[in-house]
Structure 1
């Protein structure tokens, strides 16, 4: 184990600490025996220090822009449906944001392995440039194809170039406190999801849609620059890992169950994000407040990303995920369903749902990468991460349009959409129980 004298000599610059490398045989043994992995990782991972926390800050900045925009798509959809794209149905408009979300995650199939092989700078720098450019082009659009090309295609690919490496880099610096570190980093997306909807609603009447988005683009330019300056990797490039999807990972029952759970999360997560503003308008909520409701959900999500990460490091990452996903199902099928079924506005019930669901759903963002890291060899984490989210991206592509089709089939009633959302979380809950059982056993008191 690293002694205090070792740490002090490293910090003072007298002794250069070599990058940790483990033989393939030890790595294989670690994957089979997580208890041994924990001991070895506690030796190798800094789990703190200026460099490690600066990486967390860089990841936070990257998340504020990329994931902040992802968390705000409901506001953009509601605005476009009432203005430039008013002649299109909600289902048609939803494809703009579904394809954005699909590419956001699907591109990880190559970005993750490239990160393993070449590091993060070749990904984050062009991704940041493309992301800012996509928002500027989005601000100039008037036609459906213009919004689709600028936001869905360019924006989705560019955000993936920023998001995937920022998550993977954080996991290289933390193990024991990985849940806390990743939770703090992902709160950046929650903050962005609070700031951008409020900003959009406040600025559009004053400067118009175009200049509002250009202001958003400038904010993303600043945060992306900080991300590029602060993010760094700790392990040397592993070019032997290859830039391909790792289908063999599905032979690992833990990984297969976790990947299926992630798919179900992505199938459901964006339904409230995308449709709650429209739902509030449908129920008669004031337009200004309806646009601010997504900010309430994302504000609660900030705490839901940080606090479960802190708890997960003590009581188990999978245990915490199981509890919070179960809460998502319960809140959707109770608070949201009741507010939809009852006549009248029922603003109190809506706010209660936004706060409760926002908090519970935050772990779906912050703990999913941590759970994947727990069952993976970190030298190939990027590949496994990319494999998982390329699979889950099919959920982001189809989840919102399916919800829109259900909404259309019910002539604008939201009961079926809400039931679909809650059911996805129930299935996710079941897959997580399987993953925990395969990896840590079936004892209820097991910390896993």
Structure 2
């Protein structure tokens, strides 16, 4: 990997003054602060992506029990609008991070996240669930995710991929815990109190994450006053590597999250498993994802993030196509385990490559927010498109044609993987990046 260090300077930001020294150059105290921030980022991902990965259990419960008259495609919009806002809000939260408002976003993001979850516990109709779980929680998550990733990306240089791998492993860990809580409590306590208990857990983890992250709330950059006022950087729109990165990530995310939405429903409707078995299979994929994220990012640290990203994308697409042959519980569990382990790296690897895409370290948050907000549209439309394809000639959520979901996910990720080769070439020809990064 290229060793590109952030300029070591002290800059006054709106909230506080801090040293911008990377962890690899800062000695023992910088190492401790860096590890604390990785742990804080772990808790953020535990909540924002963990609840997104756990949406498969919500999807199955809504479709088969809570609001069965609503189509699978319509229900999936609840989760996809949440994941889209989680990423797309980076268009604002990324520049605000560069301007030094990280602490403020932690407070406001936590408030909206908890508010949305509490309002979900009072919801009984589709529109109310959509507004609380989809819109309100998505906005809260969006104020936290991109700035947290940018913080870790800027804090680390040589060990960036490993740091992001450990931090984002909180996502599948959260998916496991929240899925387990939902599955265990929903029968005895009902929907309302199950959601409230999950909301209190989320609040506690966000508070702890805020304390760990905001101890050094931002790694400032060498910005002029004009740059600090900038919420949008036109230079990115004229940059081919930026657009290549964004387009590749869009195609990959179009198919990546979709299987997680439909794993429990597939197990119940196609393999005749119980609701709890479907949830446990989903948790198995998330457990495999924890191991996969750490191992693949360690591989990326040794051999390069770019080659790791390409390999994981190709294998993930092939696995989605192999899902077509999963006609038994055993085969389905094998697919879920391998898919979770390999596709899990598709979250930490793009941000570890992005500092090579952005040539201006002082605008990393802005550029990353712009790229992620565009790529985020894939998370918005991917599962509903797959659900619509699966609903053709079906009579409801219990009669889906999963071949449409499997082909859609596999083909889009495979195409996205090959489009990364163009990004690789552009980084070599325009940025002078050699090797595997």
Same fold (TM over 0.5): yes
1:128 and 2:115 aligned: no
For 1:398, the equivalent position in structure 2 comes to 381
Q: Please say if 1:235 is aligned against 2:217.
A: no
* Higher mean C-alpha deviation, range 185-194 or range 244-253: 244-253
The aligned counterpart of 1:329 is 317
Conserved in 1, the CA contact under 8 Å of 2:80 and 2:380?
Answer: yes
* Structure 2 counterpart of 1:197: 179
**How far apart are residue 20 of structure 1 and its match?**
5.5
Distance 2:147 2:281 in 1: 30
User: Which residue is 1:446 aligned to?
Assistant: 435
User: In structure 1, what is the equivalent of residue 288 of structure 2?
Assistant: 300
2:376 corresponds to 1:388: no
- Aligned residue runs from structure 1 range 172-191, under 5 A: 172-191=154-173
* Number of the residue aligned with 1:139: 121
1:309-329 CA-to-partner distances (Å, cap 9, x unmatched) read 111122111111001111101
Q: 1:109 to 1:46 in 2, by over 3 A?
A: farther
Summarize the Cα distance change of 1:45–1:429 in structure 2 as closer, same or farther, 3 Å threshold.
farther
Alignment of 1:280-295 (within 5 A): 280-283=267-270, 284-295=272-283
**Inter-partner Cα distance in structure 2 for 1:266 and 1:438:** 21
**Greater Cα offset, 44-53 or 346-355:** 44-53
Shift of 1:234: 2.3
Structure 2 residue 96 is matched with structure 1 residue 114: yes
CA distance in 2, matches of 1:46, 1:20: 17
Q: How many angstroms apart in 1 are the aligned matches of 2:234 and 2:304?
A: 27
Closer, same or farther: CA 279–157 of 1 in aligned 2, 3 Å: same
Structure 1 segment 62-81 matched on structure 2, within 5 A:
62-81=44-63
In structure 2, distance between residues paired with 1:58 and 1:152: 24
In 1, Cα distance between equivalents of 2:403 and 2:73: 16
Aligned match of 1:88: 70
TM (norm. structure 1) is 0.86
TM-score normalised by structure 2 residue count:
0.88
**Contact 1:45–1:172 under 8 Å retained in 2:** no
Q: Contact (CA 8 Å) 1:116, 1:379: kept in 2 or not?
A: yes
Which of the numbers 319, 325, 329 marks the counterpart of 1:347?
329
Gaps of 5+ in 1: 1-16, 22-39
**Preserved contact between residue 19 and residue 234 of structure 1 (Cα < 8 Å):** no
Q: Report the alpha carbon displacement of residue 236 of structure 1 after superposing the two structures with TM.
A: 5.0
1:243 deviates by 3.9
Partner of 1:11: none
Report deviation, 1:350.
0.8
The residue that corresponds to 1:258 in the other structure is: 245
Aligned-residue Cα RMSD (Å) equals 2.3
* CA–CA separation in structure 2 for the residues paired with 1:220 and 1:43: 32
How far, CA to CA, are the matches of 1:158 and 1:18 in structure 2? 32
The gaps in structure 2 that reach 5 residues or longer are 1-6, 12-20, 395-399
Measured in 1, the distance between the counterparts of 2:23 and 2:115 equals 41
CA distance in 2, matches of 1:319, 1:150: 39
Maintained 8 Å contact 1:190/1:302 = yes
How far 1:404 moved relative to its partner?
Answer: 0.9
Checking the alignment, whether the CA contact within 8 Å between 1:119 and 1:237 is kept in structure 2 is no
| Residue of structure 2 in register with 1:425 after alignment | 413
Residue 305 of structure 2, aligned match among 317, 326, 329: 317
Q: Secondary structure at the match of 2:169?
A: helix
CA distance in 2 between partners of 1:337 and 1:163 (Å): 33
Q: Distance in 2 between matches of 1:194 and 1:219?
A: 14
User: Structure 1 residues 18 and 446 mapped into 2: Cα distance closer, same or farther (>3 Å)?
Assistant: closer
> What's 1:19 paired with?
9
Distance in structure 2 (CA, Å) of the matches to 1:132 and 1:67: 15
Change (3 A) 1:50 1:305: same
Aligned to 1:36: none
Bigger shift: residues 423-432 or 47-56? 47-56
Q: Distance in 1 between matches of 2:26 and 2:249?
A: 26
